[in-house]
A = this chain, B = another copy of it.
Amino acid sequence: MNQAEAVPSSAVVRPKLKRSIIDCDIHHYTGMDVIRPYLAREYRELVETYGNALPGGMHFNGGVGGRMVDSFPPEGGPAGSSLSYMQRHHLDPNHVEYGILTGEGSGMHNTINHDYAAALCSAVNDYTIEHWLSQDSRLKGSVMIPKQDPLLSAKEIDRVGGRSDFAQVLVSNGAIFPYGNRYYYPIYEACVRHNLPFTIHVGNEGSGVNGPPTGAGHVTHYIESRASRPQVMMAHLASFIFEGVFERFPTLKVVLQEAGVFWIAPYLWRLDQDWKALRVQTPWVRKLPSEYFRDHMRVTTQPIEMTPNRAVFDQMMASIFAKDTMMYCSDYPHWDFDSPLKALPKLDDELWDRVYYRNAANIYGLPARKSERAGEPS
């Protein structure tokens, strides 16, 4: 027991929230205009001569250009481009003790040109270090990798992943193969080497090098594209388990981001059932799929499905082992931002603390909450 536990929780000043929180998904702006100075010279010149040469988004979106109306900095510029406005608008009032920056797609996960993808990732990572991580110690970065090319990805993880201000490795949900495929092993070797979780964030489904976003081909409308996100995440989840990735990399953690959460419950029921009947075909899968999920996977909240009533909510939370696996995130400044005050129904103290702080602190290895450190003022 440390002295922190002696600090009565009522002594902590909390602007609307019980305690400070960790936000696992904050999109700082990483468009070409800001990362260009960090791009390797040969690509900078190509971009200046030919344009970005990146697959574009194929769907309309929500909000204004996909962003919350009030998230644009008053001094001008894109949503998520101003640290000082993000501090005033989100980090300070929402008592964010740590925020994991996830950037914007920028095409590095779906361009056909792997070397260009790698250069873009390096540029985003360097820009993020200089303009964000070194400016506010609350912010932690995501190592962007060109997942199309696992060897170049491992190289980038080794280049910056040892820094204490990077919290995870991040890739898009849209992929060429499901992420359990052994093609990706160099990435997981590097993640394990640097003790970084591997985070799959929705995006790029059906775009660029990635195949159609559903097992029935392309979809027509944005709402269908959003509906395809859990489908693709399902493919990755099953792939990690049945390819035996967690047996090969026992310390690897995987975060599923922004594809919803409650689809995981019936999906695990089905995988557990099928594993009981078919485990002879995948003998390296040694325990129930739901146990691998609980031990190795985490899921962030936004956009959590609204259940018909509280009883269903509680049972779904239990069914996905939320106490161990769920981590709050806001998706700031995207249009479907979830305020920490409204993201979830009222949780008991223990569960609240795990979802809004402790589960993330544990897998990202973040130092304990300031307000709980011995003798420190909150």
**A239 x B262 contact (CB < 8 A):** no
Per-residue 0/1 for A240-275: is the Cβ within 8 Å of any B Cβ (1 yes, 0 no)?
001100000000000000001011011101111111
Residue of B nearest to A263 (CB): B266
- Which residues of chain B are within 8 angstroms of A227 by Cβ–Cβ distance? 234-235, 238, 267, 270-271, 274
24 of the cross-chain contacts (CB-CB < 8 Å) are A175-B216, A177-B218, A178-B216, A211-B215, A211-B217, A214-B231, A214-B235, A215-B231, A216-B239, A217-B235, A219-B238, A219-B239, A220-B239, A220-B242, A222-B278, A223-B242, A227-B234, A228-B235, A231-B231, A231-B232, A231-B235, A273-B303, A273-B306, A308-B318
- Which stretch from A75-83, A97-105, A309-317 is at the chain B interface? A309-317
Residue of B nearest to A219 (CB): B178
Smallest beta-carbon distance A334→chain B, Å: 12
Q: Is the CB of B281 within 8 A of A221?
A: yes
The answer, yes or no, to whether A213 is at the interface (CB within 8 Å) is yes
When C-beta atoms are compared, the residue in chain B nearest to A231 turns out to be B231
Q: Does A295 contact B (CB under 8 A)?
A: no
* Number of A residues with CB within 8 Å of any CB on chain B: 70
A interface, CB within 8 angstroms of B: 60, 62, 173-181, 205-206, 210-224, 226-228, 230-232, 234-236, 238-239, 242-243, 260, 262-263, 265-267, 269-275, 277-278, 281-282, 303, 305-308, 311-312, 315-316, 318-319, 336
Copies in the complex: 2
A226: chain B residues at CB < 8 Å are 270, 274, 278
Report which of B214, B269, B308, B336 forms a contact with A262, defined as CB distance below 8 A: B269
Q: Which of B223, B230, B239, B282 touches A281 (beta carbons < 8 Å)?
A: B223
Kindly list chain B residues whose C-beta atoms are within 8 Å of the C-beta of A177. 216-218
**A228 proximity list for chain B (CB < 8 A):** 215, 234-235, 238
**Alpha-carbon separation in the docked complex, A353 to B219 (Å):** 37
Contact between B221 and A306, CB atoms less than 8 A apart = no
- Measured CB to CB, the nearest residue on chain B to A213 is B215
A285 CB to nearest B CB, Å: 8
Q: Complex formed: what's the CA distance from A175 to B215 in Å? A: 8
Residues of chain B contacted by A311 (CB below 8 angstroms): 311, 315
Q: A219-B178, A227-B271 are in contact. Are A278 and B235 (CB under 8 A)?
A: no
A211 to B215, CA, bound (A): 6
- Chain B residues closer than 8 Å to A272, beta-carbon distance: 306
